[in-house]
């Protein structure tokens, strides 16, 4: 029975891998994204390491995935935080395999940075300024010398197509730190991404909701909602583009379930509440539930549907 389940899992796992390999990135390459894409190409051709800086949810990682896809390379990445160690980047030995085979390549499990160096991939280091400084400094040799020393195995030189890119939130955001001076010195080009213009952001939402027929009116209302969060003094972390996509998809699905011909104000308000109450970070002392309700009422001018089970 166990073997049968394992064979079934292996078969389905392969199907899911094939599906992942055929998936294409949904992205709108225009305006700031087109400029950033072109600068990435220029950086790689010039042998420079770029850093992409922008608030959460503006498409930093998606841009790198699209860049790797266009250049027909794999994209390996890792998100930085206080718990990341150099071994998470380079890799480490599997203790069980070491006992069987010793400290050799068969016992070694490579990390995303080493994979990128070996295979000549695009490497994305997300939230680079959340890494401890000593981990940041472990990147100096791979970035400057394009080489890495793997303990007990030896030193490798990166494939010529290896292209590392850092992405990070602005330093003033909570949880972000300054890059170490040594690592900052290796980042030669800085690409700034902000929230896109209204027409571009609406197009991004539409691209990510291909199965729903969203009207221009509804899309404009969704944009008004997420845009309002970016100018509120009560909100420390506003709604990202992902929040707008989530509101669009949830409201469209709610309308479909209720067999509505189009998304009405109550349905949109209800969906917006469910998304924004968790997507936003308010300043200390602000209660999220009533603050979101007030925001939705102010922007949409309608009460939330009683379906949510919460009063407005």
Predicted pLDDT of residue 17: 84
* Residues 188, 203 within the same domain: no
3-state secondary structure 117-128: HHHCCEEEEECH
Residue pLDDT, tens place only, 81-111? 999 999 999 999 999 999 999 999 999 999 9
Residue pLDDT, tens place only, 31-49? 999 999 999 999 999 999 9
* Residues 14, 103 within the same domain: yes
The CATH number of residue 211's host domain is 1.10.8.80
* Residues 178, 295 within the same domain: no
* Residues 131, 250 within the same domain: no
* Residues 119, 263 within the same domain: no
CA distances from 85 to 12, 44, 135 (A): 33, 27, 6
* Residues 186, 215 within the same domain: no
Mean of pLDDT over the chain = 92
CA 137 to chain centroid, in Å, comes to: 23
pLDDT band at 172 (very low <50, low <70, confident <90, very high): low
Predicted pLDDT of residue 207: 96
Predicted pLDDT of residue 7: 85
* Residues 273, 212 within the same domain: yes
Of the candidates 192, 216, 240, which is a domain's last residue? 192
Predicted pLDDT of residue 310: 45
Residue pLDDT, tens place only, 110-152? 999 999 999 999 999 999 989 999 999 999 999 999 999 999 9
- Give the count of domains, the chain: 2
- 307 pLDDT above the threshold of 90: no
More confident residue, 20 or 271: 271
Predicted pLDDT of residue 5: 86
* Residues 22, 132 within the same domain: yes
Of the candidates 143, 160, 192, which is a domain's last residue? 192
Helix (H, G, I), strand (E, B) or coil at 81: coil
* Residues 100, 232 within the same domain: no
Work out the average pLDDT over 231-245.
95
Residue pLDDT, tens place only, 49-75? 999 999 988 999 999 999 999 999 999
Residue pLDDT, tens place only, 173-187? 655 667 889 999 999
* Residues 52, 113 within the same domain: yes
What whole-number percentage of the chain has pLDDT above 70?
Answer: 94
Q: Tell whether pTM > 0.85.
A: yes
Dihedral over Cα of 195, 197, 201, 202: its sign: positive
Element (H, E) at 205: helix 198-207
Range of the structural domain that residue 164 is part of = 2-192
The CATH number of residue 129's host domain is 3.40.50.300
How many CB atoms neighbour CB 291 within 10 A? 18
* Residues 110, 255 within the same domain: no
Which residues are registered as beta bridge partners of 92? 109
* Residues 167, 98 within the same domain: yes
Cβ neighbors of 99 (< 8 A, separation 6 or more) are none
Question: How does strand 154-157 pair with strand 147-150?
Answer: antiparallel
Q: Dump the DSSP string for 256-305.
A: HHTT-SS--HHHHHHHHHHHHHHH-EEPTT--HHHHHHHHHHHHH-SPPP
Lowest-confidence pick of 45-59, 162-176, 192-206: 162-176
Of the candidates 168, 192, 216, which is a domain's last residue? 192
Predicted pLDDT of residue 308: 44
Predicted pLDDT of residue 305: 40
């Amino acid at each position: 029975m166990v073997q049968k389940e394992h064979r079934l899992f292996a078969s389905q796992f392969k199907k899911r891998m094939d599906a992942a390999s055929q998936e294409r990135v949904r992205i709108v390459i225009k305006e700031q994204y087109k400029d950033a894409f072109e600068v990435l190409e220029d950086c790689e051709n010039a042998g420079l390491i770029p850093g992409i800086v922008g608030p959460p949810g503006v498409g930093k990682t998606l841009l790198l995935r699209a860049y790797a896809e266009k250049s027909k390379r794999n994209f390996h990445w890792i998100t930085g935080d206080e718990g990341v160690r150099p071994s998470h980047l380079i890799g480490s030995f599997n203790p069980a395999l070491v006992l069987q085979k010793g400290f050799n390549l068969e016992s070694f499990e490579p990390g995303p940075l080493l994979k990128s160096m070996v295979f000549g991939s695009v490497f994305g280091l997300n939230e680079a300024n959340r890494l401890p400084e000593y981990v940041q400094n472990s990147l100096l040799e791979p970035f400057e010398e394009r080489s890495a020393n793997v303990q007990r195995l030896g030193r490798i030189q990166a494939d010529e197509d290896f292209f590392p890119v850092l992405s990070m939130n602005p330093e003033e955001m909570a949880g972000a730190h300054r890059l170490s001076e040594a690592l900052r010195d290796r980042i030669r080009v800085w690409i700034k991404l902000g929230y896109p213009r209204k027409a571009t952001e609406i197009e991004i939402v539409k691209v990510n909701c291909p199965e729903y027929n969203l009207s221009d009116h509804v899309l404009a209302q969704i944009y008004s909602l997420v845009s309002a969060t970016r100018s509120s003094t009560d909100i420390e972390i506003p709604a990202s583009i992902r929040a707008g996509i989530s509101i669009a998809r949830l409201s469209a699905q709610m309308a479909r379930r209720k067999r509505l011909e189009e998304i009405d104000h109550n349905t949109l308000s209800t969906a917006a509440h469910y998304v924004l109450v968790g997507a936003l970070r308010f300043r200390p002392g602000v209660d999220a539930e009533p603050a979101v309700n007030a925001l939705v009422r102010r922007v949409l001018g309608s009460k939330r549907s009683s379906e949510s089970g919460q009063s407005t």
